[in-house]
Chain A
Amino acid sequence: MENILLKDKVASLEGYFAAGGYRALKKALAMKPADVTAEVKASGLRGRGGAGFPAGLKWSFIPKDAQGPRYLVCNADEGEPGTFKDRELLLRNPHALIEGMVIAGWAIGAQTGYIYIRGEFAAEARLLERELFAARAKGFVGRNVLGSGFDFELFVHRGAGAYICGEETALLESLEGFKGQPRLKPPFPAVKGLFGAPTVINNVETLAAVPAIIDKGGAWYASMGTPKSAGTKLFCVSGPVNKPGVYELPLGVPFRELLEKHCGGMKEGKKLKAVLPGGSSTPVLTAAEAMAVALDYEALAAAGSMLGSGAVIIIDESQCMVKLLQVLARFYHHESCGQCTPCREGCGWIEKLLNRLEAGKGSGRDIDTLYSAADAMLGRTICPLADAMAMPAMSFVKKFRGEFEAHAAGKCCGPDGGAR
């Protein structure tokens, strides 16, 4: 299968154009906006940032009769631990994103787009600015795109360091110059989003898939992957494997194939213990569960986890699950925006309990308290950050309880392997 997103020799505008780039934009501008959206709907493309919501459907939620400005926002605030696909995509194929955004802007009737990129990606932001400049000079972006009469301005906006801004409404708050605290929904951004106007927010990978879909058709895209998880996905694999990195593969690829064939198996004969299949916020799978699962939205849901952002974090037998959960709890506690009590307090409690267990000062009751604190956070907050803490916490305790109990009894299982 040929890659759609991660290609060689398309990093520059010349290379991208020579490979057929911006052909889809010309085609889209000759179509009715509603037909462009219909094509994306037909492709089955789903949001690649984590939620997996159908992209075309999201576009169609912009009210038809909405007056005034509309906005398109690209979420390039890549921050889910384990995720590094958007960075790679931006570096290797920036014009797929730019072209995808102009097409999406035409489809939803937006004349302004923003690429919200995490602040730490300084080199990537500079690269985007440079490529945008080149695209503007060729008439692909800006006033009267390709002589069509359609105006579309695109701006790069850098974040300033906050995981929560990857949540779409927090991102909008941040883009407006506020603290990144998520908004209560409804109203949804499609009705009342950026600056109070109808807004579509899509992930980098989602938007970058749009040119190929318009060029070759929704049916072509839908022919890849599985019936409900269409197309290709960028899987970012980190942890002790021989070849960590970003792999573009059709959805539904067996985890075993990703690990053994593409990543060259476990490093130095290490033994697989567990996998976080979609980023640190998704429920953990045991080695046996992972080796039996296919990587798509449905199969991972059926296995009790999620595809998330496609960040496959590999954990080997030498790692201590209590320690790893402590690392995650410190992170979620640090990143909670603080507006919802269950999240602000819950993440802190969980971190404290884990600190106690890790220090060998915990008890068996702490394990139950940890589990019930996580359970009490689930679904009770404005945004999913609390769930993102609760899901790994509950699954770690459920599937690796023995390690937690060993800590409560004063023994640590690793990473050195022995008891303390």
Chain B
Amino acid sequence: MPLRLTDDFKAKAARVCAAYPRKDAALIPLLQELQREKGYVAEEAMDALAAFLELPYARVKAVVTFYTMFNRAPVGKYHLQVCRNISCHMAGAPGLLARLREKLGISEGETTRDGLFTLSSVECLGACGSAPVLQVNEHYFEKMDERTLDALLDDMRHGRLRAADF
């Protein structure tokens, strides 16, 4: 079913476009806005945005598939993203990732059946001084170890984290 962009979205889009001399420069910020609303960027959303910005669908698709932060399918309530780059690697990231795989019963790129967790490994998050780093949705959790990881999972499972943090 084609997606209808809401009036609210269009009003926001007008404000975003005003920051640039060409409205197609707003493509990425507007994709981010669509992802914020739905948690991912669906094919229909790409179609609708292409029409809205008067761009070819291919341009929108190319951008969505180029950047790693765009989800093209729904993700869990908590998107666990473990940094796997050099400083986090040395600080124990492989162990964290293995523990998450084991405790959640999923591999990278998968979501738990209850829709609570999606697991990903990501590249350098730019917080190497407090490695290893885990990003949950938009929030960083730093200097992680098995104990803090278990406590965090527990908090998320029992809804003890404030939604505002995410």
Contacts and interface: CB of A to CB of B under 8 A. Distances in A.
| Pairing of A with B | yes
Interface of A: 69, 78-84, 86-87, 118-123, 155, 157-163, 174-180, 195, 236-240, 244-246, 276, 280, 311, 313, 315-316, 319, 324, 327-328, 330-331, 334-335, 337
Given A162-B67, A176-B22, A236-B129, A313 B86 contact: yes
Contacts of A195: 20-22, 25
Given A176-B25, A280-B85, A82 B127 contact: no
B77 interface: no
Contacts of B131: 238, 244
Given A81-B87, A82-B128, A239-B90, 17 more contacts: A81-B85, A82-B87, A123-B138, A155-B19, A158-B29, A159-B28, A162-B66, A163-B123, A176-B22, A236-B128, A239-B91, A240-B91, A244-B129, A280-B124, A313-B87, A327-B89, A331-B86
B107 interface: no
Given A82-B124, A162-B66, A280 B138 contact: no
B70 A160 contact: yes
B24 interface: yes
Most chain B beta-carbon contacts within 10 A, residue among A121, A177, A244, A334: A177
Contacts of A176: 22, 24-25
Contact of B123 (A78, A245, A316, A334): A334
Nearest to A178: B63
Contacts of B19: 155, 157
A315 B90 contact: yes
Contacts, number: 135
A81 B68 contact: no
B119 to A, nearest CB: 17
Contact of B129 (A69, A160, A238, A315): A238
Contacts of A311: 128
Contacts of B126: 78-79, 83-84, 86-87, 118, 120-121
Given A121-B126, A311-B128, A160 B86 contact: no
A330 B83 CA distance: 13
Interface of B: 19-22, 24-29, 31-32, 59, 62-63, 66-70, 84-87, 89-91, 123-131, 135, 138-140
A198 to B, nearest CB: 14
B84 to A, nearest CB: 7
Contacts of A334: 123
Nearest to B35: A160
Given A195-B22, A237-B129, A119 B69 contact: yes
A125 to B, nearest CB: 10
A335 B124 CA distance: 11
B22 A245 contact: no
A203 B160 CA distance: 39
B21 A245 contact: no
A286 B126 CA distance: 24
Nearest to A154: B19
Contacts of B68: 160-162
